[in-house]
Structure 1
Amino acid sequence: MNRTRCLERNFEEYQNKLDSNNEVLYYPLIGKSDTTEICRHDFFLLLLVESGTGIHTIDFIDHLIRPWQLHLVLPAQLHLLEISKDAVVYQFLIATEIFKIFAGSFRFGMAVYRKSPVFDLNEEEFLSLSNEFLGIRRDIENKEMFRKLVVARLFVIGYYVSQMAAQLVEDKTVYKGHPLLFEFLALIDKYYTSHRMVAFYAEKLKVTPNYLNVLCKKDFYCKATELVDDRVLLEAQRLLIAGVSIKETAFELNFSDVSYFSRYFKLRTAQTPKSFRDMYLL
């Protein structure tokens, strides 16, 4: 997989088309798509693989592409897609406003789907999702009923995804993530560059750090501090591959000095900022 000259870019040509009149776009990939740039965008991406192979890198983690798969890319995630010549892949680009409407159909908190964004499907699951994809493609053309029909189908897809996600977690009892955790994630996005201590977020949420940890372990299967660190590291990686110097990256993320940032980065990724950056730049 060629990762030289990997630069961040937004899907501007698609982002500009996503508006109140075009809230869902259909974008098929037929044949080889040799992407050499890491892409970041502000919409939700649903990707259904009918045939072919390749690699889909989401937030710097490689996922092997195989027939009969569903891939999710959440708003603001980074991804890089390479597929084979025989690949048939169907994609829907969904405006954040629409995503927020049907996100409630996802059974688990979004952190679960960030960690497990790819689902292998059996024949029945693939055919069911194919029918919904085909229906959405058809409904997009019906402007009068567009929102009701498409959103209804997206809710159905969300329920299918929830059923598959249940197989990935130990506790298969039906539940939704605690509302406080969604507030926690929103606060992380707002304050991660200036606050990395769980105690800060616990105080904002008016709970103890221990209670916040208990909720995170129950619903996200990780410690609260891991969610904060994940967001900090993702931004650090984004800046580094965009060509920002290590010193400037440390400054942007409010680390006291470069050495501390380098130790923080290496402890959590097992590589230095320089070695990580060199993987993606010439």
Structure 2
Amino acid sequence: MKTIPILNITQFEKEESLTDFYSNDLKKHLLKNKEIFHRPHKHDFFLCVCFLKGSGIHEVDFDSYTVSPGSVFFLMPGQTHYWKFDEQPEGYIFFHSQDFYEFHFSNKKLQQFPFYYSYNNPPYINLTIDNLTPLEYYFKEVNLEFHQSLPFNKQKIVSLVDLIYIDLSRLYINEKTVHRSSTPIYLQTLSSLETTIEAFYKTEKSAKFYAEKLSITTKHLNRITKTTLNKTTTELITERILLEAKRLIVHSDNSLSLVGQSLGYEDYAYFSKVFKSKTHKTPMEFRKEYRL
């Protein structure tokens, strides 16, 4: 089955010693990867990009976001995205593995930051000029440090990244509707749930299965998902299945029946019925409309 390409950090900067981190001036990065960025693709790392100039569209898992000066985007491993620019963008981009960050902070996780604790949270924030100025300095310092060979450069980079994430989290919480009342235990369980769904969604569709995997009751798991995301466990499972269905329907040339089978639906008619009930389009209608 044809799949969406997944990019690895080492594909971008093989000559660098920091194989779990990459940074670049955005204009240079896009020029070096001009054959990649405008086509749908995935990453196996966390990505953060800050726009100082330019305009266009950033599509992430079938949701489109406007790019403008002050836009900052966050991507987690596995998300499908591409860029379409109307004006030449400028700014900074960096990406890294989970271990790169968490190795240096034994008591901190990337999922503590609101833009990373769930795939359901918006993957962007729009900064004002006042907020952008100090963050631009941090992004610039990260990039300068990455392209130099100085003592303790990895320690300095991860410290700067931490400062960027802290400042962006404060602004993100104020701008986005996030559930600040959620306890750390709830957020940790939500993260474990999303990881478990990722591993089993093609074969397991019931909330009971995931509750048992997490050693809690179905009722309590629903309480956690409703508190953190205002969604039921079943809704999260269904959304993950539909997202993968959309990816395969649009970004591959596989038959629609094969797409259904790969997601655990042997009966294509039933798969088409489920898909239409959630999207109001059949798989074929969705493929034709998106490609047009």
Normalised by the shorter chain, which TM-score bucket? Answer: 0.7 to 0.9
Q: C-alpha separation between the residues in 1 aligned to 2:88 and 2:96? A: 26
Deviations 1:165-192 (A, max 9, x none): 3221265458534322222111111111
Matched, 1:125 2:122: no
CA displacement at 1:20 relative to structure 2: 6.6
Q: C-alpha separation between the residues in 2 aligned to 1:143 and 1:75? A: 29
RMSD of aligned residue pairs (Cα, Å)? 2.7
CA displacement at 1:96 relative to structure 2: 3.8
The alignment's TM-score, normalised by the length of structure 1, stands at: 0.86
Matched, 1:28 2:25: yes
Where 2:58 maps in the other structure, the secondary structure is strand
Count of residue pairs brought into register by the alignment: 275
Q: Residue 9 of structure 1 is aligned with which of 5, 8, 18?
A: 5
**Taking structure 1 as reference, are residues 261 and 143 closer, same or farther at Cα in structure 2, changes over 3 Å only?**
farther
Where 1:48 maps in the other structure, the secondary structure is strand
Q: Residue 75 of structure 1 is aligned with which of 71, 74, 77?
A: 77
**Paired AA for residue 20 in structure 2:** E
Indicate the residue corresponding to 1:271 in structure 2: 281
Indicate the residue corresponding to 1:3 in structure 2: none
Kept after mapping to 2: 8 A contact 1:27/1:93: no
Matched, 1:224 2:220: no
**Taking structure 1 as reference, are residues 41 and 267 closer, same or farther at Cα in structure 2, changes over 3 Å only?**
same
CA displacement at 1:223 relative to structure 2: 1.7
CA displacement at 1:153 relative to structure 2: 1.5
Q: C-alpha separation between the residues in 2 aligned to 1:230 and 1:100? A: 29
CA displacement at 1:107 relative to structure 2: 4.4
Q: C-alpha separation between the residues in 1 aligned to 2:46 and 2:4? A: 17
Indicate the residue corresponding to 1:260 in structure 2: 270
Which runs of structure 2 are paired with 1:1-282 in the superposition (5 Å)? 8-11=4-7, 14-15=10-11, 17=13, 21-30=18-27, 35-98=37-100, 103-107=110-114, 110-111=117-118, 114-140=120-146, 141-142=148-149, 144-167=151-174, 168-169=176-177, 171-173=179-181, 175-176=183-184, 177-240=186-249, 241-281=251-291
Q: C-alpha separation between the residues in 1 aligned to 2:17 and 2:242? A: 33
CA displacement at 1:264 relative to structure 2: 1.4
Indicate the residue corresponding to 2:106 in structure 1: none
Kept after mapping to 1: 8 A contact 2:20/2:100: yes
Which is worse superposed, 97-106 or 114-123? 97-106
Which is worse superposed, 148-157 or 135-144? 135-144
Q: Unpaired runs of 5+ in structure 2?
A: 104-108
CA displacement at 1:280 relative to structure 2: 4.5
**Paired AA for residue 166 in structure 1:** I
Where 1:52 maps in the other structure, the secondary structure is strand
**Paired AA for residue 258 in structure 2:** E
Greater RCO, CA 8 A, separation 6+ = 1
The alignment's TM-score, normalised by the length of structure 2, stands at: 0.83
CA displacement at 1:87 relative to structure 2: 2.1
